[in-house]
Amino acid sequence: MSRRPILVDCDPGIDDALALAYLLAEPAVEIVGVTTVSGNTDAARAAANTLSLLQLAGVDDIPVAVGAHHFRGRDYAGGAPHVHGEDGVGGIAWAAGPSPDARPAVELIDHLATRHPDLTVLALGPLTNLAAYAEAPGVASFDRLVMMGGAFGHSGNVTAWAEANIHNDPESAAVVFAQDWDTTLVPLDVTMTQTLDATDLVRLDAIPGALPQALAAMLPAYLDFYEGRVFPDRRCALHDPLAAMVAAGVLRGVSVASGQVDVRLSGGERGRTVSSRASSRQRWVRGMEGSAVEVLLGRLEGRTWPG
């Protein structure tokens, strides 16, 4: 069976790290490249975190390119250390990996879209790099975009209206949503229904290998943020891993709403995503069957990881 090529645009970030590990263990896909953007942490740190993760996984053939540091509408202002730790990965102080690819993010996306006409781009952070790609002359088209972002019927997680990835750079989101790209959003409406709890962490910690152990070490910081603030008990949402599973096409019973997505750019609703017009090219996930954490842990348990 052929594996679906995926380029991941991300800002690791604890849930990004879980998503990357899941994709490395998912037999339906192949990560062919990673580009980073500021969001949970800055783009350079996000690349360093990605390279350290790949090194722990024993993977040395995936190019990682640094993308945009600042957003379109404002400068990057320090990320979310209260959620992900000062280093973006819960302060685990893992060993430095190799240097990133010398190419800018837009150039790496173009190279991989040219090489893989069936490329899926999975966006797990702000859409700054993809907006730049949309406006770059002569770049190759890719097959589809899957992104974690937005909130429709659900409240936001930064303001009452706005989800963090969109809120960080709504101007770039507006550029991306204006493209004629086959786009699937995985919003808070569904990601907040899929969680990992303290019992799941025990199961993760039992998986042998350097990477699962690193994930288990960083997750307590993430659970600390969620406990009592977002959920009454000790659990966290699986935002980025769920988007990765949608991109991989492994989930059962996924229901979607089709519609053109727009984003508010001013006022108290800045960063709010809305969908009020019909579209054959854009959709957002409303629900799914089964348990995303079972998919995540099952895949991680099914791979043999270097020690």
Q: List the structure tokens of 2.
A: 């052929």
How many CA atoms within 13 Å lie on the side-chain side of 171?
8
Q: Phi and psi at residue 66, in whole multiples of 5°?
A: -80, 130
Cα dihedral 203/208/209/213 (nearest 10): 40
Cβ count near 140 (within 10 Å): 15
Q: Is 57 helix (H, G, I), strand (E, B) or coil?
A: coil
Catalytic amino acids?
11, 239
Name the one residue in this structure whose structure tokens are 């406006």.
135
What DSSP string describes 195-219?
EEEHHHHHHHHTS-SHHHHHHHHHH
Element containing residue 34 per DSSP (H, E): strand 29-36
C-alpha span between 188 and 203 (Å, rounded):
25
106: closest CA among 7, 5, 35? 35
Measured at the CA of 201, the angle between CA 196 and CA 202, to 5 degrees, comes to 140
C-alpha span between 36 and 275 (Å, rounded):
28
How do strand 144-148 and strand 195-197 relate by DSSP bridges? unpaired
Residue 27 is classified by DSSP as T
Measured at the CA of 71, the angle between CA 237 and CA 193, to 5 degrees, comes to 15
